[in-house]
Amino acid sequence: MQKVIIAFIFLLSAANAVAQDVVSHSNSALELLQRQAQTLRTLNFQQSFYVYYPPREPQSYLWQRGVDTSGQQMELVFKLNGNPEPKFRVNDEVIHQAQDAPPYRLQQGLLNGPLPFALLYQPSQIARSYDMMLIGKARISGREALQLRLTSKDASRYGYTVWLDAESLLLLKLDMLNLNGELLKQIQVTNTQLFNQPLASLLQYAEKVPQASLRMQQENSPAHQWRVQRLPLGMREIKRDKHRLPVVGDIVDYILLSDGMVDVSIYLRPLTSDSLAEVALSDHSESFINRHINGQVITVIGEIPLATAEQLALEVVHRQ
Amino acid sequence: MRQGSEELSAFFDGESQIDVKQVSNDQAAVAKWSRYQLLRDHLQGETLDGYDSGLVDKIAAALDDEPVILNRFSKRQWIKQNLVNIAKQSSQFAVAASVAAAMIIGVQQYNYQPAQELLSAPTVAGPQGGLSPVSLSTSRTIPQQDVQQVMAQRKRINALLLDHQEQRQRKADQQDEQTAADK
């Protein structure tokens, strides 16, 4: 009997140790990302990376980051193939450039893609929606890396595996996976160069480009009364407006949701005889749902599972 | 100094000069500017970050090969049945990503008349103004009205996908105390 009790106590403490270990590893994951965010703001570097959506051809990018002596944050991302389509951030302003047209700038504290900048700069926000676990170590891009796993808390969104450089904590790789573990998107850094000071090109860009850009404000438009009754955990409504779609010019009531890792657009307009048919489409990572519900055409688009997109469409209600 | 959307459009096509400072004071003009930019990119075949015209091409191809037998189920049943099947095949919220190519669950149109035989490639006037080749097998061409309907549907899907990318690019921040603590 004594042996049974001892064995039982041993089992309990072992289980407790494992549980504590799990807790400490999840705390470690968030702490690691927070430490990474703080470090990131002090670094001057350049990284080349590619973004791969199987089975499409990967797209290559260059990311340059710097902070000058006055503390001004600068960040430039552009494509390495074809039209560079640069996106440039100086502190809380992002300058957008398209081919053969003057740039315009918006009040935005983060670039929106192709890297998960919210994860890199604001990991606490991501922790609302995703459980974070420190899995272990690996070798990525020739570097020792710390491997983390991000799992949707309510299983409504895809999961991620993230690898950070063990020394600099810079991002080395990110995989977006469905619940079957199949790869939907991959970001892999192919080269990293750290510098003691900001790149001269970055400083020049910061000096010239904002002045040459049009300052734009988000349009004030009449809000609508639609809302999503139940949102996926940690997902928030970022924007609501009424605007015209490009090309076709249809006026839509619009809601933008985000959890920091994924953005979801919801469109509503009255059902007519020539409305877009009901359709559910998926191109590996991105889902497109179009439903006819109570005289409205509701479209949901985002890098989320089809079932989640369908559920969001059903959750749209009119505020009383 | 001319103002207005026509002038903006002309400038955008490189046909005239414009005083940028004056334009920037006109918020409505500035908003139009952004939309023209996007439209131009689209017409020139440029893509936005993350937007791949391959998805639209796949959708277009699937709409061309629209499934015929729809009259055994109601529209709602048909969609639900297929979504349920997907959910069963892959656990919980695993998605159609398990299918190799873009998966079309169903395209349903009000007042659609199911064809009795295979449909040929639609006689669509493409950008070059030519017609797609007609299959030599037993087939019939889709009535012009249906072709126009399919084209209109494609255009709408395309427009929604484009707008989604533009809204994402212009997204404002979600700052709050918790994220400020990450600084």
> What pLDDT, on the 0 to 100 scale, is given for residue A97?
77
Residue B80 with chain A: CB contacts under 8 Å = none
| Closest CA of chain A from B138, distance in Å | 28
Of A37, A38, A63, nearest to A48 (Cα)?
A63
**How much is the pLDDT for A224?**
86
3-state secondary structure (DSSP) of residue B113: coil
Query: In what side-by-side order are the strands of the sheet with A87-90?
Result: A130-140, A143-152, A159-165, A171-177, A183-195, A44-52, A59-67, A73-79, A87-90, A93-96, A104-107, A214-215
Q: Mean pLDDT in chain A?
A: 90
- pLDDT for residue A186: 98
Chain B positions in Cβ-Cβ contact with residue A254 (cut-off 8 Å): 167
The count of residues in chain A is: 320
Average pLDDT, stretch A106-124?
Answer: 92
pLDDT tens digit string along A257-281? 999 999 999 999 999 988 999 999 9
Q: Is A1 on the interface with B (CB under 8 A)?
A: no
Nearest to B83 among A38, A98, A306 (CB): A306
Q: Which residue has the higher pLDDT, A9 or A183?
A: A183
The Cα–Cα gap between A184 and B96 comes to: 11
The reply to whether residue A214 touches residue B23, judged by beta carbons under 8 angstroms, is: yes
Q: Does the pLDDT at position A190 exceed 50?
A: yes
Measured between beta carbons, the chain B residues lying within 8 angstroms of A216 are: 30-31, 33-34
- Kindly state whether A238 is in contact with chain B, defined as any CB-CB distance less than 8 angstroms: yes
Helices B27-43/B5-12 angle, 10° precision: 40
Nearest residue on chain B to A271, judged by CA atoms?
Answer: B110
- Judged by CB atoms within 8 Å, which residues 110-149 of B form the interface with A? 110, 149
pLDDT < 50 regions, chain B: 1-24, 42-52, 66-138, 175-178
Task: List, for residues B79-125, the tens digit of each pLDDT value.
Answer: 444 444 444 443 333 333 333 334 444 433 333 333 333 333 333 33
Contact A238 B107 (CB under 8 A): no
What are the CB-based long-range contacts (under 8 Å, 24+) for B43-46? B44/A99, B46/A83, B46/A85, B46/A98, B46/A99
pLDDT bin (cut points 50, 70, 90) of residue A235 is very high
Within an 8 Å CB–CB cutoff, is residue B109 touching chain A?
Answer: yes
Contacts of B104 in chain A (CB under 8 A): 279, 281
Among the ranges given (A52-66, A85-99, A179-193, A295-309), the one the predictor scored with the smallest mean pLDDT: A85-99
Lowest mean pLDDT among A212-221, A269-278, A293-302, A310-319: A212-221
**Residue B85 has what pLDDT?**
44
**Collapsed DSSP state (helix, strand, coil) of residue A302:** strand
Q: What's the CA gap between A2 and A134, in Å, rounded? A: 38
Whether residues B108 and A277 touch (CB distance < 8 A) is answered with yes
Give the integer Cα–Cα distance in Å for A205 and B61: 43
| Minimum CA–CA partner of A97 in chain B | B37
Answer whether A215 sits within 8 Å of B75, measured CB to CB. no
Rounded percentage of chain A residues whose pLDDT exceeds 90: 73
Predicted pLDDT at A96: 84
**Percent share of chain A, pLDDT over 70:** 92
Q: Is B179 on the interface with A (CB under 8 A)?
A: yes
Matching residue, tokens 């000071």 = A197
- Tell me the chain B residues in contact with residue A306 when contact means C-beta distances shorter than 8 Å: 83, 86, 95-96, 105
Listed by number, the residues of chain A in 130-189 with a beta carbon closer than 8 Å to a beta carbon of chain B are 155-157, 178-180, 182, 184
Residue A14 confidence (pLDDT)? 67
User: What does the block give as tokens for B149?
Assistant: 């309907």
Q: Do A310 and B169 touch (CB under 8 A)?
A: no
The alpha-carbon gap from A253 to the nearest alpha carbon of chain B, in Å, equals: 12
Q: How many Å apart are CA A174 and CA A162, to the nearest integer?
A: 5
